[in-house]
Chains A and B, each alone.
Chain A
Amino acid sequence: MEKKIRVLLAKPGLDGHDRGIKVIAAALRDAGMEVIYTGLRQTPQMIVDAAVQEDVDAIGVSILSGAHMTLFPAILDEMKAKDAGDMILFGGGIIPDDDKVELEKLGVAKIFTPGAPTEDAIKYLKEAVLSKNSDEKIT
């Protein structure tokens, strides 16, 4: 049997808007993934620690407060420090195009912006995890 994709979802920073992340949690679960939602007000350290402990394939965060240029890089740094650089970091929220390009350059794998259907996230994660796993087998 195919191994289930494991995803950790979290809300970093002070922002309490959790409609989007709960919709994503339900959609990923319905698509057969294992979803761990750790809730609101998670520091980058808390998020990465939980991701390592849960041994997930991907970390998804949602930021609607405008603090994305501070929080995403902090999570990436934490991932490097905890040797979790092979996990896929993706996110969603109110993130202007310029910032999106900048963040993807820094190492955020994918950013979804308002209006993106959940099936885009599902499709993206399935492909990204598959290619990550096949890379691992080769090396």
Chain B
Amino acid sequence: MFDKKFLEKFNDKLKEWGKFAERFRTKKSMPRFFTVSGVDIDELYTPVSITDGDNDKYFDTNIGLPGEYPYTRGVHHTMYRTKLWTMRQFAGMGTPRQTNERFHYILKQGGMGLSTAFDLPTLMGYDSDHLWSLGEVGKCGVAVDTLADMEIIYSGIDLGKVSTSMTINSPASMLLAMYLVVAEKQGVPFDKVRGTLQNDILKEYIAQKEFIFPPKPSIRLITDMMEYCTKYVPQWNTISISGYHIREAGATAVQELAFTLADGFCYIESAIEAGQNVDDFAPRLSFFFNAHSDFFEEIAKYRAARRIFAKRMKNKYGAKEPKSWLLRFHTQTAGCSLTAQQPENNIVRTAIQALSGVLGGTQSLHTNSMDETLALPSEKAALIALRTQQVIAYETGVANTVDPLGGSYFVEALTDKMEAEAEKYFDEIDKRGGVLNCIEEGFFQKELARSAYQYQMELEKKERIVVGVNDFVMEDEKIEIPVLKIDHMVEKDQVAFCKKIKAERDNSAVQATLENLRNVARGNGNTFEAILECARVYVSVGEMCDILREEWGEYNETKAAMSAS
């Protein structure tokens, strides 16, 4: 590459070049050159942006080769030449039967994995017939009360063949238990079941706010499940440590990167404290990142994430297996970047964001539909979103070579910067007593609120342009795309079905398994095993959560966390 002497000469050349460039700098095409996260970008990146001359060392510690430590260039040696990313479209709405129909449609159109969205009552651990569920049943996803609903959602789908992702957090154990029972009834052994649970409670306290129990028992639910799956469901990714929602709530790219990894390290430390061996559980951890509109910043974020994770796993947590050093991740394009105005433009935004995920080396990808600021996606919009991924995979040529941007002065410099900035946040979090303390004192929440407000003000002052929103606006625009509406009958039907199942099941078995769950919650047994017993006899999500609410209490945000600034 470049030796010290070459770089010295190059520096002189650069100075000369700068003198010529000077005369063009009086005119600017934009008021400021900065990323969507507010990071100022230099005019030009060159070899001197990334190395001071000790190239061998820089290459080894920062770049390396794909499939090798520190994995900056990707987690596999051959990446998409061997296996494309999984095109995994998130779906779920209305009744279990409607979601089942959408799943069959996705699989028929070439989708490779399923991803299940649940409605708010399910996410919050309330049954459809609960007072809090009024008006929310089937709205943001599918309603699941008991095993009977899960049986319908996955009917006609071989759980030994398909891999399923479930976006569920506080009641994740209950939903995984039900899924496993469905597999059991299909005759699929647990060790053939593949998929991912989101199951990331820390980001709920920080960003998405769908929490039920306080942090300590919540983390116990997670570590119990990790222990069970390590033994019996070895192909299941027990937790998808999520930056997606942190970003959507207003974070910058660096905040997304740093807070997500900090959460991940918190789970790892908890499992180690609970007596588990890091190399037993670490290979089943996965991550979930956002793909926002700032193309290069996003690519740098993914590359930095892999490098930071590998270094920490190896050096700090003493993981011996290379499998434990790999940060594998799912990507979803940024919902918060979509506009209600001129919604067709969202197809373009999503395509560019998806491309950054691919160039960043993602393992799976969800592309948003153009109509998602208006409602849940219509079938046509969802199909275009999937087709977008297929165009990237089969037409653009980006899958032909591994990490095509590796070695780009700009991308490498930005990757280094991301890592350095994230490290600053890790120090800050440590200084404040760790992730749980930071949640309690509202540190993350305030950081996000501040970033979100700053972004909004930049828009309003037109320091940033969003096409169709604060510039290139069409007056009297009419929305001309079909929007999916959830029929109000969905709630009525679901409530009736929930009541019917509760009346028809073996209610003495329900009482017995619930009582057992209560005892386990009070003691030190494995909560997941108790939950699995409940699921088998059609105990509802709400009933299980109620027992745990009684035993563990409910979490409320602190005043500090609610503060807007």
Contact = CB atoms under 8 A, between A and B. Distances in A.
Given A26-B564, A65-B140, A14 B121 contact: yes
Given A16-B210, A19-B452, A22-B564, A65 B139 contact: yes
A19 B460 CA distance: 16
A71 B131 CA distance: 12
Given A14-B124, A40-B557, A65-B139, 5 more contacts: A14-B121, A16-B210, A19-B336, A65-B140, A96-B375
B151 interface: no
A114 B204 CA distance: 23
A115 B375 CA distance: 15
A14 B136 contact: yes
A65 B136 contact: yes
Contact of B135 (A16, A17, A67): A67
A100 B250 CA distance: 26
Top-8 shortest CB links A-B: A70-B135, A16-B209, A66-B139, A67-B135, A25-B564, A14-B120, A114-B340, A22-B564
Given A14-B124, A118-B460, A66 B340 contact: no
A25 B123 CA distance: 26
Contacts of B448: 19
Nearest to A68: B135
Interface of B: 120-121, 123-124, 126, 132-136, 139-140, 204, 208-210, 248-250, 336, 339-341, 373-375, 448-449, 452-453, 456, 459-460, 469-470, 479, 483, 485-486, 557, 562, 564-565
Interface of A: 13-19, 22-23, 25-27, 29, 35, 37, 39-40, 65-67, 69-71, 94, 96-97, 113-115, 117-119
Contact of B340 (A65, A67, A115): A115
Contacts of B134: 67, 70
A34 to B, nearest CB: 13
A114 B469 CA distance: 9
B132 A14 contact: yes
Given A16-B209, A18-B249, A67-B136, A114 B373 contact: yes
Contacts of A37: 562, 564
Nearest to B132: A14
A19 B375 CA distance: 18
B453 A40 contact: no
A126 to B, nearest CB: 16
Contacts of B483: 96
A16 B460 contact: no
25 contacts: A13-B135, A14-B210, A16-B208, A17-B208, A22-B449, A22-B453, A23-B452, A23-B453, A23-B456, A26-B564, A26-B565, A27-B456, A35-B564, A40-B209, A65-B136, A65-B139, A70-B135, A71-B135, A94-B375, A96-B485, A97-B479, A114-B339, A115-B339, A117-B459, A118-B460
Contact of A69 (B135, B340, B452): B135
